[in-house]
Chains A and B, each alone.
Chain A
């Protein structure tokens, strides 16, 4: 059986052939054991896939998922920030000096912190460890700029 015949058989199963052609393929499949076996395999695959997505669930609570959408809608609806003031040009000039100076100072500081016993407490430094002991559905949201970490539980509570 060549590829064209195989694809025609598949098109027949998918209801893509005009009536006359579909009848001809049906006769051929009834006659040919090879075609019949292939048709059965394709049907089995279709049956196996049926309902696959129905079991998939969004792994976030209704409230949490919506709150992210709502925030994003609000963010995109917000007016664009005002254009930079004239003073920005002066700041840009200063920045040319401040950037290398700050970078050098930070290098020194980083070295000092690394040799300091215990190190400094930092946000989002990869040192977070979490164990959900009784709630496998818990998830975490970090806003490092605001210094806030949220852990949301599916755990029911009535205070």
Chain B
């Protein structure tokens, strides 16, 4: 099949436009969640935990985690300017520091009980999740979820 040259040119131009060629870096809008995972159907009666929202729950299902129920302990919406960093406190013992790098990547520092536990640098496209987690007492788990919205 012979395709007219204008078809290729239009297609390439359309793709270039959608890639945001030359657009300056903008503030990143993110959400940080502290989640608690359990296989019990109900959250602890003495805590006001809310079930995690459906889109996060769906993404967590794709991970090799054995816990069936995830509850939101805390959620923080925040924004980071290019080159700047922002520290978010999720509990007395857990903070996350996020820096937007010039290359549109993020640098994430997890602080647990006052200690720097992990520093990670990676691309975080819109809609992607970075999930940090570990075991908690009584066969439960904790997660820190970072989601980029814009």
Contacts and interface: CB of A to CB of B under 8 A. Distances in A.
A97 B117 CA distance: 51
Nearest to B64: A67
Interface in B80-127: 91, 93-94, 102-105, 112, 115-125, 127
A125 B123 contact: yes
Interface in B1-48: 1, 3, 7-8, 11-12, 15-16, 19, 21-22, 25, 34, 36
B76 interface: no
B57 interface: no
B70 to A, nearest CB: 13
Contacts of B25: 118
Interface in A138-158: 138, 141, 143, 146-158
Given A108-B12, A121-B124, A159-B91, A153 B19 contact: no
B117 A101 contact: no
Contact of B8 (A105, A155, A158): A105
Contact of A159 (B8, B73, B127): B73
A144 to B, nearest CB: 10
Interface residues on B, range: 35 or more
A130 B108 CA distance: 9
B19 A147 contact: no
Given A129-B121, A159-B73, A67 B65 contact: yes
Nearest to B115: A134
B84 to A, nearest CB: 16
How big is the A interface, by class? 35 or more
Contacts of B93: 157-159
A150 to B, nearest CB: 5
B136 interface: yes
A91 interface: no
Contacts of A125: 123
A70 B136 contact: no
Contacts of B64: 64, 67-68, 70-71, 141, 150
Interface stretch (A9-17, A23-31, A109-117): A109-117
Contacts of A138: 118
Contact of B132 (A101, A120, A129, A151): A151
B122 to A, nearest CB: 4
Contacts of B134: 152-157
A125 B128 CA distance: 14
Interface of A: 61, 63-64, 66-68, 70-71, 96-97, 101, 104-106, 108-109, 112-113, 116, 118-123, 125, 127-135, 138, 141, 143, 146-159
The 9 closest A-B pairs by CB, nearest first: A121-B123, A147-B128, A153-B134, A67-B64, A108-B12, A146-B62, A128-B122, A129-B121, A121-B104
